[in-house]
Each structure stands twice: as C-alpha cells, then as structure tokens.
Structure 1
Amino acid sequence: MGTVAYQQSDSAQGQAGTRQQAGGGWGARPNSPAGAPTGAPRYQQQQAPAAAPRGRKARLRVAKVDPWSVMKTTFVLSIAFAVVSVVAAALLWSALNALGVFDSINHTLASVAPANQPNSVTLTSVLSFGKVLSFTALVSVVNIVLFTALATLAAYLYNMCSSLVGGIEVTLADDTAS
C-alpha cells in the first residue's frame, strides 16, 4: 500500500491544516495558526463544471451468488409469505361469512337440488374455517420447501452459467443533485 497525499486548493492556503511531509509523515504547515490541529488531511476542493452536475457511475459484474445466503433469504421470505397467506385466507373467509355469502350459496343450492333428496352437503360444511386454514397452511408449507429448493438450485445454476459467460453486468449511478 502506498501513501496517499491529499492536496489543498489555492483558495484554502490561509486556513489551518496539514500537509504530507517529504518523509511520508504529516506535519503542521509553516503558516498555520498556533492552535491548528495537526495530523488530519485536507481534501482538495474541486470546482464543479459549468454544465449540469453528473453523478458517478460504476459498472459492476455479479460473478457469483452464494447459494447458502440465497437459501437462507428465500427460506425467510417464504415463511413471511406463508404467514401472509394464512392471515389473508382467514380474513377473506371471515369477510365472506360476515357478508352472508355462504348462506346465500347454500340457499341457492337447496333451491336447485331435487326435492326428494335431503340436502346433506352444504357449502359451509365443505368450506369450514378450519378446513380452509388447514389447506392454506399445507399449501404454504409445500411452497416454503419448493421455493427454498428452487432458489438454491437457481443459485447453483447461475454460478455455473456465470463461470461460462462472465455473469450479469450492473451499472450503478449516484442521484444527480439539482
């Protein structure tokens, strides 16, 4: 590692500061005031061009994705999605039940069914609250396992492909200050 020298602009010559000495150390400036701090570098102040300011850009390449971190992240996100799904199913079932949708459908089915058969199966018995939540929880557990496994597999496949073609290039840029 080399020594980094910081320069100070001409407009700040009279201000207190430090500069790098020939031996590589930092020392006080000969014309700095008596109480000026020593040891802190001064950065060169650059004037912005007359045109509109432009942000910095950096071109980066995603060459490798860690499969372990992908698996952990996908697992946590899948659990969060499962919780949201179960809560959404419970709220939806409660809202439909409060609005009387199930009773209305049961009444319609009873009027359509033949008169000589008793109406033993109702929509509320098939779509009870417990059955709906059990089914949603089962689907959520299957989704957790599948999403985690598929995302980890995708990370391995991405690593193999990026070793052949070099990965994905991403250009990052600063927001321009106006």
Structure 2
Amino acid sequence: MSSVADKLARKSTRRPPAKQVRLRLVYIDFWSAVKLSFLVAVCLAVINLVATFLVYTVLNSTGIFEKVNDIVQDVAGSGTDLTSILSLGNVMGFAIVGSLINLVVTTVLGAIIAVLYNLSVKITGGVLVGFTNN
C-alpha cells in the first residue's frame, strides 16, 4: 500500500512541463543598435590600443626593431633609420587613429545592419526565437 508521503515524494520528483514561448523578432530599434554598436566599438578600440602597446613592448624589449633596422640599413643604405619611425609615440598614434576609424565604421555598420534588418522583416516576417523558463 502506498502512503500519502510516498505519493507526495513521487509527485515532487516529477518536473512540471517547461513553458515555452515562441516570439518573432520583427523590429530592431535604430538608436539602440547605434548605441550597442558604439559600445562594442569602444571595447574593440581599447583592446586594440592595449594589444598594440603590449606587442610593441615585447618587440622592443627583444631587440627585433634593432635587427630589422640593421637589415634595412644594409639594404637601403645608411641614411634610413627605422627606429625613429617606429617610436612608441608614432606607433601608438597610428593605433589611436586606426581605433577611431574603427569606432566610426563599426557604429555606422551597426546602424546600417539595423535598418537593413528592419527592411528585410517586411519580406521575411522576422526571426522566430524560442524561450523557456528553465
């Protein structure tokens, strides 16, 4: 015979069925997409600057710049000095300019993708996304 406690124990081990919701993504807010793409671009710019500094520091401390400068002077003549061109200020300045260009391009691409998605939803109906409460 089964007691009430056994029935409750069996009942509590069964999981209730998960509720699933299927939604369609039919619109992406333009300004939200611009803000998100700007924040992603800022993160990429910081990563780019830190990586450039670290790579420059490693290459400078291992003496690769001096060896490359010797090779360039042997090939091009003694009038060229590669170390003056590849100073930390010049390299980081170039990295900052590249990061700013990347920031603008990534922000504009995020805006363009949002507009193109909003236009394509009129044809395709959007993306079907499923959610569950687990």
Equivalence for 2:106: 147
> For residues 147 and 127 of structure 1, what CA distance do their matches in structure 2 show?
27
> For residues 16 and 64 of structure 2, what CA distance do their matches in structure 1 show?
60
CA contact (8 A) 2:41 2:103 kept: yes
Q: Kindly tell me: are residues 164 and 49 of structure 1, through their superposed partners in 2, closer, same or farther at Cα, counting changes over 3 Å? A: farther
- Number of residue-to-residue matches in the alignment: 125
Letter in 2 for 1:107: D
Q: Decide which of 125, 128, 137 is 2:84's aligned counterpart.
A: 125
Query: 1 or 2 for the larger relative contact order (CA 8 Å, sep ≥6)?
Result: 2
Equivalence for 2:51: 88
Query: Could you tell me the TM-score, scaled by structure 1's length?
Result: 0.62
Give, in angstroms, the shift of residue 112 of structure 1.
4.1
Q: 1:44-67: per-residue Cα shift (whole Å, max 9, x none)?
A: xxx4686x8754322111010001
Q: Kindly tell me: are residues 53 and 103 of structure 1, through their superposed partners in 2, closer, same or farther at Cα, counting changes over 3 Å? A: farther
Query: Could you tell me the TM-score, scaled by structure 2's length?
Result: 0.80
Give, in angstroms, the shift of residue 133 of structure 1.
0.9
Superposed, 1:2-21 pairs within 5 Å as none
What fraction of aligned residue pairs are identical, expressed as a percent? 33
Q: 1:6-61: per-residue Cα shift (whole Å, max 9, x none)?
A: xxxxx8xxxxxxxxxxxxxxxxxxxxxxxxxxxxxxxxxxx4686x8754322111
Tell me, which stretches of 5 or more residues in structure 1 are unaligned? Answer: 1-10, 12-46
Equivalence for 1:101: 64
Give, in angstroms, the shift of residue 165 of structure 1.
1.9
> For residues 140 and 98 of structure 1, what CA distance do their matches in structure 2 show?
24
Q: Find the structure with the greater CA-based Rg.
A: 1
Give, in angstroms, the shift of residue 135 of structure 1.
1.0
Q: CA RMSD in A?
A: 2.3
> For residues 22 and 118 of structure 2, what CA distance do their matches in structure 1 show?
19
> For residues 112 and 72 of structure 1, what CA distance do their matches in structure 2 show?
49
Superposed, 1:17-166 pairs within 5 Å as 47=11, 55-113=18-76, 117=77, 119-166=78-125
User: Higher helix share goes to which structure?
Assistant: 2
Letter in 2 for 1:72: K
CA contact (8 A) 2:73 2:80 kept: no
Tell me, which stretches of 5 or more residues in structure 2 are unaligned? Answer: 5-10
Letter in 2 for 1:167: G
